[in-house]
Amino acid sequence: MTGRAARIGIPIAVGVLFLAGWQALVVGNDIKPYLLPKPSAIWEQVVHNREDILTTARVTGTNALVGLLAGAILGILVALVAARFRVVDSMLVPLAAAVNAMPIIALAPIFNTMFSTTSSVPRRLVVALVVFFPLFINALRGLRQVAPIHRELMDSYAAGGWTFARTVRIPGALPFVFTGLRLGAALAVIAAVVAEYFGGLQNGLGTRITSAASNTAYPRAWAYVAAACALGLLFYLVATALERIAMPWHKPR
Amino acid sequence: MSAALPSPRAGDGPVSEAVQLAGVGKTFRGRTDVTALADIDLAIEAGEFVTFIGPSGCGKSTLLRLIADLIEPTAGTVTVNGKSARQARLDQDYGIAFQQAGLMEWRTVARNVELPLELRGWDRARRRTRARELLELVGLPDFVDSWPIELSGGMQQRVAIARALATGPKLLLMDEPFGALDEMTRERLQAELTRIARESGATVVFVTHSIPEAVYLSDRVVVLSARPGRVTEIVPVPLGDRTDDTREAPEFYAKVTEVREALRGRTGRATVPAAEER
């Protein structure tokens, strides 16, 4: 019980201290709002715009979720194929590494032109691409990592390829897949928000941040940034909860 | 010395050989070829408890893996239950346990024990009942639904032994299954294993580098030489049913000494019997 209290209480205490310090810093040094607004001013904006924040967060959240699911499913499927067929593996991994090295977010304006600017598809596509790589790489690493003793044991049972995959390879890869999913969940929200900076529909958190910033309404811009943070945290927490449910044997460190 | 001991189950009908090794050799190919085993001729009778002992790297684990058909010999033939080792593996004729428990951490204790049954297509209820029986047998009836990481090393090893016994195999292959355990747990599991082997009538082929363990467990101790492994001597151990007193009996010490001297190739000086090795 004290462990749980500490686990939840300490981060909250640190957060409160951080905000208090921020407030004191801004007030004490008379820092101008365009440099750094006070947390209290940001909070006022959060309250003032709460309805719009919820609406836009829902839009951005949906984009992030759809992209995350598509990217994660694709990443896992391709990893399964790559783990099964060595040829695919040797073709895909260098390609994946090369594609991963380029800033995927930079594709957003191109996708906007490819599809239409009144569509959510370009944003979801960016998210899916960003999410694909951590899932693919982690799932593949997990699928390849089989304890020699499990292989010998399954050989002694004369187990075939599919049985081996089902009983050893796939469950053994789950911790890696969920590591990828946690990374992917956080990245999905970042990608969904940033993808909105490149034009297109004016309906998400990212578009509100750019428009508030260009109108020098800094506390309002920060209010939407805070909402984006909260959305990212929500995604991360859901991914962590799923991990616990899917792997009851896996005790978090 | 190497005369065959009568099979404990000789009265059950025609004496059958559980394992037959004829001219078996194994060379691992590589930059430099390593001959792990050479000219192994050995017959293990059904119901017999036979232990392979030898210095590190003598190929005793390799020999066990050849019987299990987890690797193939480069010379000679391995026959298990009257068929090729390959066929015996495909028929799942044996249960196997290794030095590491090798439990699947994503399966509960019971589902680890059920694994070989599941692969044989047993239905859930029957598997469940059998797993409970086995966990009771190895003294873990309260851990049916636990996760492996919640168990100590010794408990995990018992689960691995229960898993090896799950299908009721007539042949048990064990590669230093007690090697990583503390002395107390080890002795208790040795006693349990001899009891299980006696009650089930299974043939056991056991690998160890502990002399007292080999003497305590076996009907015959097969002593292997350093690389390339060859059978240098076979020591029969007619000590009857094992009890805790067995470990303190003078005959036990005499056999320990005999095996130790066999390991030294009979060239060593006469030695004071010691209670333990390593």
Residue A33 belongs to a domain? no
CA A245 centroid distance within chain: 19
pLDDT for B232: 87
Expressed as residue numbers, the domain containing B123 is 100-168
Residue A235 belongs to a domain? yes
Chain A residues lying within 8 Å of B108, measured CB to CB? 249
Q: Do B119 and A155 touch (CB under 8 A)?
A: no
**Which phi and psi angles does A101 have, rounded to 5°?**
-75, -20
Distance (Å, rounded) from C-alpha A151 to C-alpha B167? 19
**Closest residue of chain B to A168, computed from CA coordinates:** B104
CA A222 centroid distance within chain: 20
Among the ranges given (A32-46, A233-247, B201-215), the one the predictor scored with the smallest mean pLDDT: A32-46
Residue B274 belongs to a domain? no
Q: Does B105 touch chain A (CB under 8 A)?
A: yes
| Domain co-membership, A9 together with A134 | no
B-facing residues of A in 158-177 (CB < 8 A) are: 158-159, 163, 167-168, 171-172, 174
Residues, chain B: 278
| Domain co-membership, A97 together with A15 | no
Q: Which structure tokens are listed for B185?
A: 């747990």
Residue B37 belongs to a domain? no
Could you tell me if B27 and B74 are in contact, meaning their C-beta atoms sit under 8 angstroms apart?
yes
Residue type, B63: L
Distance (Å, rounded) from C-alpha A141 to C-alpha A175? 10
pLDDT in tens, B37-61: 888 888 998 889 999 998 887 888 8
| Closest-CA residue to A112 (of A104, A123, A103, A102) | A123
Residue A22 belongs to a domain? yes
Nearest to A159 among B70, B108, B119 (CB): B119
Distance (Å, rounded) from C-alpha A112 to C-alpha A147? 46
How would residue B189 be classed by pLDDT, with cut points 50, 70 and 90?
confident
B243 CB neighbour count, 10 Å cutoff: 13
How would residue A86 be classed by pLDDT, with cut points 50, 70 and 90?
confident
Residue A126 belongs to a domain? yes
Nearest to B100 among A149, A156, A251 (CB): A149
Q: Does A247 touch chain B (CB under 8 A)?
A: yes
Q: Does A87 touch chain B (CB under 8 A)?
A: no
Q: Looking at the 3D structure of chain A, how many domains does it have?
A: 2
Distance (Å, rounded) from C-alpha B29 to C-alpha B6? 38
Q: Does residue A201 come out as left (phi exceeding 0), alpha (psi in the -120 to 50 range) or beta?
A: beta
Distance (Å, rounded) from C-alpha B177 to C-alpha B157? 7
Is residue B104 pLDDT above 90, yes or no?
yes
Could you tell me if B153 and B186 are in contact, meaning their C-beta atoms sit under 8 angstroms apart?
no
Task: Record the pTM.
Answer: 0.79
Residue B36 belongs to a domain? no
* CA-based torsion, B180, B55, B253, B237: positive or negative: positive
Residue A21 belongs to a domain? yes
Residue A167 belongs to a domain? yes
For residue B229, the 8-state DSSP code is: B
Helices (H), chain B: 60-67, 85-90, 109-119, 124-137, 153-165, 183-200, 211-217, 250-263
Chain B residues lying within 8 Å of A168, measured CB to CB? 104
Q: Do A167 and B92 touch (CB under 8 A)?
A: no
Q: Do B102 and A157 touch (CB under 8 A)?
A: no
| Domain co-membership, A89 together with A178 | yes
How would residue B15 be classed by pLDDT, with cut points 50, 70 and 90?
low
The residues pairing with B42 across neighbouring beta strands, listed in sequence order, are B21
Residue A252 belongs to a domain? no
| Domain co-membership, A22 together with A65 | no
Nearest to B147 among A167, A174, A249 (CB): A249
Residue B214 belongs to a domain? no
Which distant-in-sequence residues (6+ apart) come within 8 Å of A44 by Cβ? A219
Rg (CA), chain B: 19
Distance from CA of A206 to the nearest CA of B (A): 41
Residue B143 belongs to a domain? yes
| Averaged pLDDT, A170-175 | 91
Helices (H), A115-160: 121-144, 148-156
pLDDT in tens, B120-149: 888 999 999 999 988 988 888 899 899 999
pLDDT for A252: 53
Chain A residues lying within 8 Å of B104, measured CB to CB? 150, 167-168, 171-172
Residue A251 belongs to a domain? no
Q: Do B106 and A150 touch (CB under 8 A)?
A: no
Q: Looking at the 3D structure of chain B, how many domains does it have?
A: 1
Q: Helix B153-165 and helix B109-119: axis angle, to 10°?
A: 20
Q: Does B100 touch chain A (CB under 8 A)?
A: yes
| Closest-CA residue to B195 (of B164, B212, B174, B217) | B217
- Omega within 30 of 0 (cis) for the link into B228: yes
pLDDT in tens, A211-251: 988 888 888 899 999 999 999 999 999 999 999 998 888 76
Chain A residues lying within 8 Å of B72, measured CB to CB? none
Residue B114 belongs to a domain? yes
Q: Does B148 touch chain A (CB under 8 A)?
A: yes
Expressed as residue numbers, the domain containing A4 is 1-26+38-43
| Domain co-membership, A141 together with A180 | yes
Which one of B106, B108, B159 makes the best mutation probe of the A interface by having the most chain A beta carbons within 10 Å? B106
- For residue A101, what is the enclosing H or E element? helix A86-101
